[in-house]
Amino acid sequence: MPGRYDDLSRDDLIRLLERRDTRQLYGLVWEREGIEPDRAFNDDFVVLDLDPALSTAPQDGRGWRNLVIEGDNWDALRALRLAYAGRIGCILIDPPYNTGSQDFAYNDRYIGKDDRFRHSLWLEFLYRRLVLARDLLADDGAILVCINDENRARLDLLMERVFPGMRIGSFVWRTKDTNNSDKRRNWSGVHEHILVYAGPGFAFRGVQTGAGKFRLRPGFGDVPVRLDPITKPETFKTRAGTYYPIQNPATGLWYPCAPNQVWRFWSETQPPRGRARLETSMEALIRAGEILFPPETAPPFFFADRADLNAAIARGDVPRDGRNRPLLRADLPDLDFWIGKPIARGRLSRIVRWTEELEAGMRPVGSWIAGLSEDATGEETETLRSERQGAATTLLEHMFGQQVFSFPKPLSLMRALVRACSGEDDIVLDFFAGSGTTAHAVLAQNAEDDGNRRFVMVSNAEATEADPDKNLCRDVCAERIRRAIDGYADTQGLGGDFAYLRSRRIAQEDVVYDLDPPALWTLLQLRQGFPLRSFDPLAPVQLAADPADPERETLAYVPQMSAEVLAILGSIEGAVLAFTPVPGLLRDAISRPGLTVDRLPDRLVQEFVRAVTGL
């Protein structure tokens, strides 16, 4: 049987092989040839239809700042790409985890465990969407993706492919307390990951050291001070060089070092050899008055001889650390040093006096997430904190009075991520919004730090043949956000707003007929970065106020020319950017300084086609 290479010459074959070799990708490969391409991948134009009845009242009447979009995110992302390219500061998504339990659909088919191409379909499904999302990300933006342990490696390679060179790291968080899920191996999978990829200008916000930790304390005058620990978690064996006694030069009292928590500063009595002395010495800090020797409330310990000391160690009657662990033990070296010396009971700390630089300073976040009740604050890092998964389900039940969604993410987790990875004026996008936890987190964070973050949530209806009336986006996602805004049960509302939109596809050949003025007006306002107003069918000109100066209408859309249009546009003072299908007519009819005229819808359609065909 003739093969497909039979007719090729030797040179052609060599060229083919060379091309194949250079195309070989290091990293992830999936069966793209073997799976039917996603039928959703087409060049349809996508619009977002506004539904004012399902939207909240816009705050202060100026237009909606936040969006909830109902629809497949493949469509929504294409419309968003037209409106938000390069403007999203934080993308936070929690996609289906490829569990095999029909958690995502490909070509309208839910994928189960036994599907031969299950992993490839999942990768292709995510790949297409991540490529669209990439273009939305600002240069200083970050994308964070939640994933379970099983699929973490696959997703990381996929992310590396879509966002080359942008990997920052991953957070790990504890999902449940204990659950011996694999009894045979005695293994409990209780953690998940959040992968972080970011643009060149991104930096974690961390947590401001802030004046909160500085306080006025007796004896320190009128400058607020913070007391920092001066130990680090190393033992007298691993860090013998920083295990040494300290004497208070003013009182002569001695302070033993904790055997499992040695000093963080080196001593001039045993200077480190061959290593740069990055930190200052303990003696220099003492001379500068930066070490706090707390007042002693009881007489010091005193051991007259070795027998006396040994007996005290045996009784446990020796100085102790902050956690009540003995500082003198039988296994420690140089115990004779302590004979005949007054030994203090108090523990030392470093006095940090408040300065403006410290106030502004940020602490880097750690690469893991601790439980809300865990003590995990290190000296250099501020750890993100989160509840376990169960708390998220309880919260939703509290908000709705019944169970409405399975496996939401904890609000505290999403909030910690929003706080660490978004600026106060950023737009936060979640295109696998589910029950809308990310939007709730944005509202809660804004309420706490007075931020202006906006959100764009995309959630599908999750309707199936068996349950055609299900509408997760309307009944859970939007409803949850509405309750968070207005308040629920005994919880005060966080304030805020959202416009409710639905994605709608229009085939290229129908664009001229079906691309209606209300849909165009919505896309135009989003693309220009204006708060969203609904289309007024009675108004000859649609006008939008400048976000920076709400008193001034600076964006206009003229679907049809009329004398009234000319009168209105002529009466507005200052710069106006007007869009119309008949720019020539408008320019001829009014010529006044500050009026710029552009063609719509052609411009949007051209941009859209370029965006889609460029994929």
Ligand X SMILES: C[S@@+](CC[C@H](N)C(=O)[O-])C[C@H]1O[C@@H](n2cnc3c(N)ncnc32)[C@H](O)[C@@H]1O
Measured between alpha carbons, how far is 146 from 100 in angstroms, rounded to an integer? 17
To ligand X, the closest distance from the beta carbon of 104 in angstroms equals: 5
Token pair in block for residue 373 = 């009740």
Residues 121/111, Cβ–Cβ less than 8 Å: yes
Q: Which of 48, 56, 63, 72 binds ligand X (CB under 6 A)?
A: 72
For the beta carbon of residue 186, count every other beta carbon within 10 angstroms. Answer: 7
To ligand X, the closest distance from the beta carbon of 121 in angstroms equals: 12
To ligand X, the closest distance from the beta carbon of 596 in angstroms equals: 37
Nearer to ligand X, 503 or 542 (CB): 503
Q: Which of 44, 70, 94, 553 binds ligand X (CB under 6 A)?
A: 94
Residues 192/148, Cβ–Cβ less than 8 Å: yes
Nearer to ligand X, 462 or 475 (CB): 462
Beta bridge partners, 543, equal 556
Strands (E), 323-433: 349-353, 362-363, 365-371, 382-386, 427-430
Residues 459/408, Cβ–Cβ less than 8 Å: no
Q: Is the preceding peptide bond at 364 cis, omega within 30 degrees of 0?
A: no
Q: Does 98 bind ligand X (CB under 6 A)?
A: no
To ligand X, the closest distance from the beta carbon of 470 in angstroms equals: 10
To ligand X, the closest distance from the beta carbon of 46 in angstroms equals: 13
Beta bridge partners, 369, equal 173, 384
Nearer to ligand X, 95 or 319 (CB): 95
Measured between alpha carbons, how far is 188 from 2 in angstroms, rounded to an integer? 55
Number of residues that bind ligand X (CB under 6 A): 18
Nearer to ligand X, 73 or 261 (CB): 73
Nearer to ligand X, 420 or 472 (CB): 472
Q: Which of 64, 202, 265, 432 binds ligand X (CB under 6 A)?
A: 432
Nearer to ligand X, 260 or 393 (CB): 393
Contact range with ligand X by CB under 6 A, out of 5-13, 78-86, 433-441, 580-588:
433-441
To ligand X, the closest distance from the beta carbon of 257 in angstroms equals: 47
To ligand X, the closest distance from the beta carbon of 432 in angstroms equals: 4
Contact range with ligand X by CB under 6 A, out of 67-75, 148-156, 301-309, 567-575:
67-75
Nearer to ligand X, 152 or 409 (CB): 409
Residue with tokens 């009182």: 251
**Residue 437 C-beta-side C-alpha neighbours within 13 Å:** 27
Measured between alpha carbons, how far is 559 from 537 in angstroms, rounded to an integer? 10
Residues 553/545, Cβ–Cβ less than 8 Å: yes
Q: Does 435 bind ligand X (CB under 6 A)?
A: yes
Measured between alpha carbons, how far is 206 from 214 in angstroms, rounded to an integer? 18
Q: Site residues for ligand X, window 391-430 (CB under 6 A)?
A: 405, 408-409
Positive or negative, the Cα torsion across 131, 137, 140, 146?
Answer: negative
Pattern 357-396, binding to ligand X, x per CB under 6 A?
----------------------------------------
To ligand X, the closest distance from the beta carbon of 397 in angstroms equals: 13
Measured between alpha carbons, how far is 187 from 191 in angstroms, rounded to an integer? 12
CA angle 494, 495, 497 (to 5 degrees): 130
To ligand X, the closest distance from the beta carbon of 458 in angstroms equals: 6
Token pair in block for residue 505 = 């596809």
Q: Does 319 bind ligand X (CB under 6 A)?
A: no
Nearer to ligand X, 148 or 260 (CB): 148
Give the largest Cα separation in the chain, rounded.
108
Contact range with ligand X by CB under 6 A, out of 68-76, 136-144, 441-449, 486-494:
68-76
Q: Which of 58, 63, 96, 256 binds ligand X (CB under 6 A)?
A: 96
Nearer to ligand X, 66 or 437 (CB): 437
To ligand X, the closest distance from the beta carbon of 472 in angstroms equals: 6
CA distances from 578 to 81, 495, 541, 568 (A): 22, 33, 9, 12
67-70: strand order across its sheet? 45-50, 499-506, 67-70, 454-459, 427-430, 88-93, 137-148, 191-198, 167-174, 365-371, 382-386
Nearer to ligand X, 107 or 528 (CB): 107
To ligand X, the closest distance from the beta carbon of 405 in angstroms equals: 6
> 3-state DSSP call for residue 164?
coil
349-353: strand order across its sheet? 225-229, 349-353, 291-292
Q: Which of 73, 209, 242, 445 binds ligand X (CB under 6 A)?
A: 73
To ligand X, the closest distance from the beta carbon of 262 in angstroms equals: 43
Nearer to ligand X, 95 or 559 (CB): 95
To ligand X, the closest distance from the beta carbon of 189 in angstroms equals: 17
Q: Site residues for ligand X, window 437-496 (CB under 6 A)?
A: 437, 458-460, 462, 472
Q: Which of 64, 104, 266, 293 binds ligand X (CB under 6 A)?
A: 104
Residues 244/269, Cβ–Cβ less than 8 Å: yes
Nearer to ligand X, 264 or 482 (CB): 482
CB-count burial class (<10 Å; 0-12, 13-18, 19+) for 448:
exposed
To ligand X, the closest distance from the beta carbon of 416 in angstroms equals: 14
Residues near 103 by beta carbon (within 8 Å), at least 6 away in sequence:
96, 97, 110, 111
Long-range contacts of 560-565 (CB under 8 A, 24+ apart): 561/585, 561/586, 561/589, 564/540, 565/540, 565/541
Nearer to ligand X, 253 or 458 (CB): 458
To ligand X, the closest distance from the beta carbon of 601 in angstroms equals: 26
Q: Which residues bind ligand X (CB under 6 A)?
A: 72-74, 94, 96, 104, 405, 408-409, 432, 434-435, 437, 458-460, 462, 472
